[in-house]
Amino acid sequence: MGRKGFTTRQVQGSGAVHATPRATPIYLTAGFTFDEFGDAAAHFGAGEGYAYTRIGNPTVEAVESTLAGLEGGTGALLLASGQAATSVAILTLVSAGEHIVVSNHIYEGTRGLLLDNLARFGISASFVQDIHDPAAWEAAIRPETRAVFAESISNATNRLLDVAEVAAVAHAHGIPLVIDNTFATPYLYRPIEHGADVVVHSASKFLAGHGAVIGGAIVDAGTFDAGSTLYPQLTERDRSGAPSPAERAGGGARLAYARDSVAPRLGPTPSPLNAFLIGQGIETLSLRVDRQSANALAVAEWLAGQPVVASVDYVGLASHADHALAERVLPDGFGSVFTVTLDGGAETARSVIEALETFTHMTHLGDVRSLVLHPASTSHIHLSDDERTALGVFPGTLRFSIGIEDAADLIDDLAQAFAAVSAPVELLA
C-alpha cells in the first residue's frame, strides 16, 4: 500500500506508546482494540480483557483496587457519583415488590431516591428513627426486606451507627447491611470490620478531597451466601443461560452482578479522568483527614463555648449522645463535618454566613477548604418542621465541613462573624 491520505494519517497517527509510568496513567479512551479476532469473542463471552470503558477501564480499576484494599473488601466498583453508588447498590439487592429498611438519619438525596424514584419502581422503604434500638431495626424488617441501609456517621447531626449491632439484626434475616461511609472515610472507620456487607461512598467528598470531581464507589465484603434463596438475580441463571453471579463469583456475587448487569446497563460510568483525580485524592486521604479532624475538634470546642451557640452536634465532643461509642470505634479522629445551632434562628444563621470570609458558602463537604451551609433553607428545605426537628435541623442550624487551613484562622473568622452578629444595632449601622 502506498502512503495514506492526509486525513487517514491525521486520525490514525497516534499509535500505542509502551512505557512504565509511576503515576496511574489516564486511559481516556472509549474503547480498547482487540489484538486477535478471538479476543473479541473472549471478552463478550467470558468477560476477558478490556473492550469498552463503560464495562471496564484500567484507570478506573486501579482506583477500585486501592479502595477495596483500604475498606477491607474483596472488590470495589467506581461509579459516576455517590448517588449512582447508592442507586446501583440498592438495585443490585432489591427488586420491585421488595423492601428496604433505612436509618432516618441519612443524606437527603438518598431519602429522595427512595421516596421519589425507587418507590415508583415498586421498592418500598421503612425508616428507623432510634438507630441505637436494635428492636426498632428488627421491627422494621419484613419478609420481603432485602437490604438494611444506614450511614456510619450521619449527614447533618453526626449520629454514629453501631454497625455491629445493626449487622447482627440484618444477618439474622439473611439480609446484608449497606453502609454509606462518606463522612467517616476508610481511614477513620471501616464498616466491613464491624460486620457490614456493602460500603458505599460519595467519592466527590473526602476521597477526591479537592472539590473538583463527582464520583462514587461500592465496596463489597464478599459475604454473599450462595445458598440464599432471597436473591434469585444472584443465584439463578439469566436468559442467556450463563453461570449465575453466585456460580461465577461465590461470596462476591453482589459485586459481580452490580458490575456486569446493573452498572453497565444503567450506565453511570465514571470518566477515567475523574477516576484519576479520585485516585490522586486517595493518595493523601489519611493526611488530610488527620488534619481536618484535628481542626474540626478545635473549632467545635471553641464553638461550644460561645454565648450565641445553643448546641454543637459533633461526635468528638463529650456532650454528643454518641461520644462514648465514638471513643470506642473512632480511635484516629472524629471526622470534620458537623452542625451547630445558633440562638436567634434563621436570621442569626444568615448573618453569620454573610459575615464569614475564610469559610466558603456552598453545598459540599470533605473539601480541603472549610465550607458552611444553612440546611433548613437548602438541603432540608423540602421537609416539614417536624421532620427537620426529628433530624436535629433547626432554623438556626449551620453545617460546617472543616478543611485543612490553619485552625486559628478558622476560629478568628468565626469570632469576627459572631462579633458582627452580636454587635449592638447602632454599631452595625
Ligand X SMILES: Cc1ncc(COP(=O)(O)O)c(C=O)c1O
Q: Does 82 bind ligand X (CB under 6 A)?
A: yes
* 75-83, 167-175, 235-243, 351-359 -> range binding ligand X (CB under 6 A): 75-83
**What secondary structure does DSSP assign to 271-334, as a single string?**
PHHHHHHHHHHHHTHHHHHHHHHHHHHHHHHHHHT-TTEEEEE-TTSTTSTTHHHHHHH-TT--
The residue among 43 and 111 lying less far from ligand X, judged by its C-beta, is 111
The residue among 108 and 197 lying less far from ligand X, judged by its C-beta, is 108
Sheet order of strands, 360-361 included: 309-313, 337-342, 397-401, 371-373, 360-361
Report the distance separating Cα 261 and Cα 417, nearest Å: 51
Q: Which amino acid is at 332?
A: D
The residue among 84 and 303 lying less far from ligand X, judged by its C-beta, is 84
Q: Which residue is associated with the grid cell 461520644?
A: 323
**Residue of 71, 151, 322, 367 interacting with ligand X (CB under 6 A):** 151
Q: Does 345 bind ligand X (CB under 6 A)?
A: no
The residue among 191 and 216 lying less far from ligand X, judged by its C-beta, is 216
**Residue of 104, 202, 271, 397 interacting with ligand X (CB under 6 A):** 202
Closest CA to 328 of 216, 205, 162: 162
Q: Does 107 bind ligand X (CB under 6 A)?
A: yes
Q: Does 81 bind ligand X (CB under 6 A)?
A: yes
Report the distance separating Cα 391 and Cα 72, nearest Å: 31
**Which residues 6+ apart lie within 8 Å of 395 measured at CB?**
345, 346, 349, 376
The residue among 180 and 322 lying less far from ligand X, judged by its C-beta, is 180
* 4-12, 41-49, 76-84, 122-130 -> range binding ligand X (CB under 6 A): 76-84
Q: Does 274 bind ligand X (CB under 6 A)?
A: no
**Residue of 180, 197, 220, 367 interacting with ligand X (CB under 6 A):** 180
Q: Where are the alpha helices (DSSP H) in 72-195?
A: 82-93, 108-112, 134-140, 163-172, 185-188
Q: Does 375 bind ligand X (CB under 6 A)?
A: no
Task: Mark residues 209-228: x for contact with ligand X by CB under 6 A, - for none.
Answer: -----x-x------------
Distances (CA, A) of 138 to 128, 171, 172, 231: 10, 11, 9, 20
The residue among 94 and 234 lying less far from ligand X, judged by its C-beta, is 94
The torsion of the CA quartet 100, 71, 223, 275, rounded to 10 degrees, works out to: 70
Tell me the residue nearest to ligand X as measured from the CB.
Answer: 82
The residue among 246 and 373 lying less far from ligand X, judged by its C-beta, is 373
**What secondary structure does DSSP assign to 65-107, as a single string?**
HHHHHHHT-SEEEEESSHHHHHHHHHHHH--TT-EEEEESSS-
| In the complex, minimum distance from the CB of residue 248 to ligand X, in angstroms, rounded to a whole number | 29
| In the complex, minimum distance from the CB of residue 272 to ligand X, in angstroms, rounded to a whole number | 17
As given in the structure block, the three cell numbers for residue 318 are: 463529650
| In the complex, minimum distance from the CB of residue 379 to ligand X, in angstroms, rounded to a whole number | 8
Sign of CA dihedral 80, 81, 83, 86: positive
Q: Does 204 bind ligand X (CB under 6 A)?
A: yes
The residue among 66 and 81 lying less far from ligand X, judged by its C-beta, is 81
The residue among 149 and 224 lying less far from ligand X, judged by its C-beta, is 149
**Which residues 6+ apart lie within 8 Å of 372 measured at CB?**
353, 356, 359, 360, 361, 398, 399, 400, 401
Q: Does 155 bind ligand X (CB under 6 A)?
A: yes
* 62-70, 180-188, 243-251, 315-323 -> range binding ligand X (CB under 6 A): 180-188
Q: Does 182 bind ligand X (CB under 6 A)?
A: yes
* 24-32, 80-88, 282-290, 397-405 -> range binding ligand X (CB under 6 A): 80-88
Q: Which amino acid is at 389?
A: T
Q: Which residue is associated with the grid cell 449601622?
A: 429
| In the complex, minimum distance from the CB of residue 396 to ligand X, in angstroms, rounded to a whole number | 21
Binding positions for ligand X, rule: CB under 6 A: 81-83, 107, 109, 151, 155, 180, 182-183, 202, 204, 214, 216
